[in-house]
Structure 1
Amino acid sequence: MTAVIGSELQSTDRYYTRVSDRPALIERTEPAVWGDHASAGMLGAQELAAHERDGFVTVPQLLTPDEVAGYAAELDRLATDPAVRADDRTIVEKTSQEVRSIFEVHRISEAIGRLVADERVAGRARQILGSEVYVHQSRINYKPGFGGGGFYWHSDFETWHAEDGMPIPRAVSISISLTENYAHNGCLMIMPGSHKTFVSCVGETPAEHYRESLKEQEIGTPDQGSLTALANRHGIAMLTGPAGSATLFDSNCMHGSNSNITPYPRSNIFIVFNSVENQIVEPYYAPSRRPEYIAAREFTPVSS
């Protein structure tokens, strides 16, 4: 049974998690769009309204076909570079040992570093967050055919709050597709509108939890009752589309993806922008900080 937090349980932190033996649903008070809906920018008023309502907005053709080909080649280069594979920032699949993710990729790859600062990318993040932004996290997600693992339902903000010390959900992620996203090859799934509800999870954070959670997360994942309640309330959107398309989504969206048992790989560049006015502090519900390649503590604004 999922409880709704009452005022008597809200002490110093509204978004408490991993400290109770009962899950809870906490209604969010902060907006998803902090900027002026009427201001000029890459996103129009209708797109900003959709982001506020649903927690995400899609950009059909963020990259040109030539750019997609160039970044896809860069992903292949990184995945086959022995030095990159041996780096702590590279995560491999538990079973296949294929590369699953490469973190802090905007510092490893000059090409992706330039993409992060591109106005088509960072400019949209500034518009949504209503401030200058910095990169909280960047990574490549590989989901090869015949074995790419899934990501169970979760809210990124729950982890970033508990383990990284992000104060409030004033961050936005952008997932840029470099392959076709089909309904059957592990596409991103989001519960539209779920960003307005924070799910307080059960289970204390172990020491160095990131070593296991980046391969398969268990602590910090919602209970089935909360997921059922959110799915019944909001439904589930499957975000498909061609290579070069992108999705910006709020840090508190309930999202996940299935494993990929098809022959068709799915890979994307994933960048998390946090507001410079929402800089992370000490972890709220973890014994120590995660490495800075997972949760940056360099808050210099992204410059174009």
Structure 2
Amino acid sequence: MKLTAEQVARFEREGFLFFPGLFSPEETRVLTEAVPALYSRREAFNVREKGSDAVRTNFAAHLYSAPFARLARHPRMVEPVQQLLGEALYMHQFKINGKMAFEGDVWQWHQDYGTWLNDDHMPQPRAMNVAIFLDEVNAFNGPLMFIPGSHRKGVVDAKHDLTTTSYPLWTLDDALVAELVERAGGRDGGIVSPLGPAGSMILFDSCLVHASGSNLSPWNRVSVYLSLCAVSNHIRRHKRPEYIAHRDFTPIDCLSDDCLLRQDPVDLPWRDGMPASALVTSAPEPAAVA
């Protein structure tokens, strides 16, 4: 899948691209039907909401679930990112976010690169997210909120929020968010939310400031996120377990465009369980001497 010159210019200007209904209902159903079995597992890779049994995030499904292993190599998801970054890519992170009905909690305002820089020592923001909706996303079920053009601010200061939700995040100060929203147009387009049917795809810059509110509606909002990084820009620290921040920097080889329906064969290295090595992290860094 190749982006047009106009799409590339829009991405550079706004920091994201939205493709409503890019995947067919049949393709999307293959993925959706695999989610309940993944969410039911009592494994470290399922992070649940604070004070709830609802899954907030499932990590690394592409290593043990065939449908998601195919999605991780899908040309519609990989090739546009490769075109924008101009280099072979590896999978830095793979997650299925479950903003579940009545229970899905907030994701605070943040830049993804803030976490990748501070936790993983990724050298440059030469990485980005590409996501597919597994449910319809509407105004009521906690849609993503973007501040258009905020990626052009570059990397901004963030603080490590360890208490608001069950998942730690490097988040931005309210005053900075307000400033960025005003700069982007205030009430006239300073915050946008891509809404659309299941099968829609979003591609967004790792420095684009974004968030999502809680889901108080009776409708789930499950989405899959591929965090793709230029191979030369691979992470330098393994502070986080491997199921969160991957350490295999092998370039991704795409499958056929109809791989979800053809059920192309894929390798599943964690099919029989996550290895103990996936929980091993690097030694803590020594404290600075005063």
CA contact (8 A) 1:100 1:148 kept: yes
Unaligned runs of 5+ in 2: 185-189, 255-290
Match for residue 158 of structure 2 among 201, 219, 225:
201
Q: How does 1:44-123 map to 2 (within 5 A)?
A: 44-80=4-40, 85-123=41-79
CA contact (8 A) 2:50 2:165 kept: no
Distance 2:54 2:2 in 1: 36
Identity %, equivalent residues: 38
- 1:61 offset after TM fit, Å? 2.4
CA contact (8 A) 1:99 1:142 kept: yes
Distance 1:238 1:60 in 2: 13
Does 2:146 align with 1:190?
A: yes
- 1:128 offset after TM fit, Å? 1.4
- 1:60 offset after TM fit, Å? 1.6
Unaligned runs of 5+ in 1: 1-40, 283-287
Query: Which residue is 2:276 aligned to?
Result: none
Match for residue 268 of structure 1 among 218, 223, 227:
223
In structure 2, give the amino acid aligned to 1:96: S
TM-score normalised over the length of structure 1: 0.78
Distance 2:7 2:37 in 1: 35
**Residues 274, 47 of structure 1: alpha-carbon distance in 2 compared, 3 angstrom cutoff:** same
Q: CA RMSD in A?
A: 1.7
Query: Which residue is 1:16 aligned to?
Result: none
CA contact (8 A) 1:57 1:247 kept: yes
Distance 2:77 2:96 in 1: 15
Query: Which residue is 1:131 aligned to?
Result: 87
CA contact (8 A) 2:24 2:199 kept: yes
Q: How does 1:29-40 map to 2 (within 5 A)?
A: none
**Secondary structure, counterpart of 2:218 in structure 1:** coil
Does 2:191 align with 1:236?
A: yes
Match for residue 161 of structure 1 among 117, 122, 133:
117
Query: Which residue is 1:13 aligned to?
Result: none
- 1:64 offset after TM fit, Å? 0.7
**Secondary structure, counterpart of 2:57 in structure 1:** strand
Aligned residues: 248
- 1:243 offset after TM fit, Å? 0.5
Match for residue 245 of structure 2 among 286, 295, 298:
295
TM-score normalised over the length of structure 2: 0.82
Distance 1:202 1:249 in 2: 22
**Secondary structure, counterpart of 2:210 in structure 1:** strand
Does 2:170 align with 1:215?
A: no
In structure 1, give the amino acid aligned to 2:158: C
Distance 1:251 1:194 in 2: 10
**Secondary structure, counterpart of 1:240 in structure 2:** coil
Match for residue 140 of structure 1 among 86, 96, 101:
96
**Secondary structure, counterpart of 1:238 in structure 2:** coil
